[in-house]
Structure 1
């Protein structure tokens, strides 16, 4: 039997999913010889702050597996982890690049995955 998130956690995840259906965001990065990119840690921080601003909730725990390349159409998947261990996927897609600024949209999944079962 899958474990369901607590009602409070479920409400938080639902608010984030509804509030972040599509949020525009941007971040400035330094450019070397190659295309601009945003480190995975900087991306996670920016996404978390934007979700908190959009939903009025505390800053969530976001992890992103890779740097975000500054090329239109580039996408990555980040993960929001709730206090109870349940997760919500967050898609990040680059919409434009202006100099050293990468503009991207954030879209949270509609439903969360339950926390892993305790052993």
Structure 2
């Protein structure tokens, strides 16, 4: 009988998804002065990577965000977490409040990873 096994990357992604679903998933980041404030895509990516690693006890995953996060309540963006094997997991980021130059946001990983494309 054949037993399917999850790859290491998918296992890590599953741990990240479970960890972010079980924990309070919010963060705050102070930005450079602008109106409205913006958090660069690079800073958002690195902050999410650190938060996801802390939530799961795993090494920091590779996270890529396609655009800057505008500090306006309700603004959302989608980032992508990519495992070593190429499998991916989407992460939704939503601005919950803005206090001056500080953007507060919630984030949630998708419940299911997408397998690597060959």
TM-score by length of 1: 0.90
Aligned-pair distance for 1:20? Answer: 1.0
Structure 1: 5+ residue runs without aligned partners? Answer: none
Matched, 1:14 2:14: yes
Structure 2: 5+ residue runs without aligned partners? Answer: none
Aligned-pair distance for 1:79? Answer: 0.1
RMSD of equivalent CA atoms: 1.5
Per the alignment, in what secondary structure is the counterpart of residue 57 of structure 1?
Answer: coil
* Structure 1 outlier segments of 4+, above 6 Å: none
Per the alignment, in what secondary structure is the counterpart of residue 67 of structure 2?
Answer: coil
| Alignment partner, residue 28 of structure 1 | 30
Post-superposition Cα deviations, 1:35-56, rounded to whole Å, max 9, x if no partner, equal 1000000000011000011111
Aligned-pair distance for 1:7? Answer: 3.1
Per the alignment, in what secondary structure is the counterpart of residue 85 of structure 1?
Answer: coil
| Alignment partner, residue 41 of structure 1 | 42
- How many residues in Structure 1 have an aligned counterpart in Structure 2? 113
